[in-house]
Amino acid sequence: MMHYKIILSGKDIFVENYGSADPITGFVACRIIKAETERLAIAIAKRDILVNWNQSFNADRKVGLPNLKVERVTQVNGFLAREPKNDYFFYTDSQTRDEHLENLINPRRWFKRKPKQSPPA
C-alpha cells in the first residue's frame, strides 16, 4: 500500500464570515491517505471530507455541500507522511485560494538548504 498526499478544493458553499462583508465561498484541504491505488485514495479523501463537513460545518444544512475538485495528488513516503496541522483553509477570493494551495503544494521547510557555491577559479 502507498501513501498519497491529496489536496482538494471545495467551492459553492456559503459560510458567514463574521467581521467581514465577504462570505467564505470555499476551502482547500489536504489529506494523507494510505490506499492500494491513487483512485481509491482520492475516493477515500473525498468521502472523509464530505462526512466531516456535514458533521462539523453543515449540521443544520444551511452552509451547502461543497463541490470538490482534486488539485494535486502525490505519492509520499509513509515513514515521513504527516497530517497537515489544519483541516480546512477557508477563502473568500481566488487570490487567497491560490495562496493556500501554494502553501500546501510547496510547504516551508524547517531548515534552509545552503545554496551551492561554485569552486574558486
Q: pLDDT value at position 24?
A: 87
SS3 content of the chain, % helix, strand, coil (to 5): 25, 35, 40
Q: pLDDT value at position 62?
A: 80
Taking the model in full, what pTM does it have? Answer: 0.79
* pLDDT single digits (tens) 56-84: 888 787 888 899 999 999 998 866 666 66
Domain ranges for the chain, please list them.
2-105
C-alpha cell at 5: 498526499
* pLDDT single digits (tens) 32-47: 999 999 999 999 999 9
C-alpha cell at 48: 472523509
| pLDDT higher at 85 or 55 | 55
Q: pLDDT value at position 107?
A: 72
Q: Mind giving me the DSSP string for 4-53? A: EEEEEEEEEEEE--TTSSSPEEEEEEEEEEEESSHHHHHHHHHHHHHHHH
Q: pLDDT value at position 87?
A: 81
Q: pLDDT value at position 120?
A: 64
